[in-house]
Structure 1
Amino acid sequence: MSNWLLPESLADILPAEARRIEELRRNLLDLYRTYGFELVAPPLVEYIDSLLSGTGSALNLRTCKLVDQLSGRTMGVRADMTPQVSRIDAHLLNREGATRLCYCGSVLHARPSGLLSDRELLQIGAEIFGHAGVEADIEVLELALESVKRAGVKHARLDLNHPGVVRAIIDSDPALQGAEEAISELLSTKDIPAISDLPSTMPDIQPVTIKALLDLASLYGGPDVIARARVVLPALPALLAGLDDLETLVRALPMHQFSIDLADMGSGYGYHSGVVFSIYAEGWHDALVKGGRYDGVAKAFGRSRPATGFSLDLRKLSAGLPPAQIAKAIRAPWGNDAALVAVLRQLRGAGEIVVQVLPGQPHRLDEFTVDRELVLDDGVWKVRAIQ
């Protein structure tokens, strides 16, 4: 095997694309700062029992594990930074009231999440801790939409759901206890035949439950889905509260395009506690941004806190945008003449890209296009256009 080959689903990022990803990172972190979010930077690896606390089995399967040579304990390479940020809020900062935190760093997946997915992501996100009201969810949604807008994404579409709707139906029927994940999977894939056949494997399941599950599988579309759900689903208090939360969010963001799929739980049945959302846009094969409410995850760190937030992969975001623009640069000769050095310092201080050509070396650049050159004209260094 050639020693330059990379493992499957890992890739190098070349100059122009790497520069754009870095500019996206700076732009979005500056945006989050204007909203009052404070930047934190958790470690790339930590003990596995801390890294996976309260996250469920899905994250465990995505986490690469290794043995710490100092302690002998099992560590994990983070596959998601959100649990780490929850730990920082609950254990290190330990503040009263609302705390806004943002972050950006590499995460590694043991396996790609899809056929077109990479295993290494550059995850950026923002979380609000300490406020259980829908106001925090609205702020997080607004910030997520502004993030993709700042990046140049056109016609973003927001997909909403609330796991409390499904959970209320499952909790109302004792026959479904212990089968929550399986039921959630059937609903997410809209497997109508399997749902209809549940009485053959669960003879104690109530007929009203089967009807509710079948109705759920058809409850997707625009915001009118909420009104339809109120008519066809059982009037369980937790279910109605979930629909109320969804309706509040839709009314709070009237300028945005929404879709609602009450059956699509994804992998967040045991993790999310309130409204969940995804942002889709033309040019990306799956969700560009994912987020939602996950109250109580930090309970494992000794302090249960309301929490809501979102994250996205900057590498995936950049890959779906138009090709990165090549920056314009100035070519300059090599030399240590005081006048030349002074001009170079002045140009770079003004934000210009100036590339000095090393003696005897060919001049080729992938990230820059050289459209000007620095020449000595009658004893004065001047910038002129290259014909």
Structure 2
Amino acid sequence: LRDGEFILHYQPKASLISNRIVGAEALARWQRPDGVLLPPGAFIPVAERSGLINRLTLQLLPKLMDDLTAKGIGSDMCVSFNVTAADLEDDVLTEQILASVAQGRLPSGSLELEITETQAMQAGQKMVRNVDALAEAGIGLAMDDYGVGYSSIDTLSQWPFTSIKLDQGIVSRMLNSAKNATIVRSSIRLGHELGLHVVAEGVEAPEQHDFLVEAGCQIAQGYLVSHPLPLEEFEVFRHNIGKCRGMPIGLVHMAIVDHVQWRRQMVSYAIQRSALPPDSPVRQKEGYPPLCLTKCALGKWYTGDGRYFADTPMYQAIDAPHRSLHDVGGQLVGRIRAGAALNDIVPLLYDLKQVSTTLIRLLEDLEDAGLESLYTSPPAQCARTDPGSAGSTPASH
């Protein structure tokens, strides 16, 4: 610390939608004078036991800020950085970051702080205030090692997280354990429902990559993508397109589930409200799903990630029944507010089901075509990097 021998390497994060590098995690390395590069496991535990972890963080933060601003890597991607409860209890780290934001040196959305659930559970009031201030300034917050704690969901509900990082242990076991596979799929779905980015850590095999693509995961990090790289090498690497097959096929399934939930909410709303007296003020209240085409979850997928499939006839056929669905939904809301009873809206509920069936069939056809492409087209060999070097040792800081 005194001699300033700690440096940062950057482990790329790849989009499972575009197959491009969309971010990185900044990881500490000890560059000794004799040329030996030590991984975090050789010094992070010592720094924690000796109470020097906060000093280490504060020494690395200016290097990170310089890379994000002066070196420009924060101009078009988000870089995550590990911090501890002690770091966030200390106002210095928060003040340095907020000052960079206020001065316009730190691009919006360029920095995300990673904290484990265990660290979050140790939070005092000061830490909570600092986290809230950083969140308001546009600094992201990721829950690291998601899935290994005892109350991850409760912690997610209380903190302004923007990402969850699936623990590499769960990722490594998901192909051989039905339970771990279920945990991964359900965690990805939870992140989707909460509007959080989901990053899978420790991705090392093409089979893991394909499982995550099918499950709807958005981002992968691990040796299959690259080991941590010095800044200069990362700058070159991040402009390359990966050789793994990237397609948002899992998000088609997410869209199917989103649509089913929309229809169920609409039907539940209609049946419950139609049972009320015609003049009940509750009939005028909301409680129905979004009626705007572009604000429902299916609409957001259709105008967003779903554009990947824009050239397919199934995708092109979705627009008409989707519009019909919202038209019927709008009619149901109007009839309920006008005092209609259940018998009055039965024809509309039938129309809603018919249109919904058409939509699901189209989405399932699109999903089937995507799965066929994923698993039967000639598999490109994902680029691997040698995990045997000191710079590639898994890092916790």
Same topology, TM > 0.5: no
| TM-score bracket, shorter-length normalisation | under 0.3
Q: In proportion to residue count, which structure has more helix?
A: 2
Normalising by structure 2, report the TM-score.
0.24
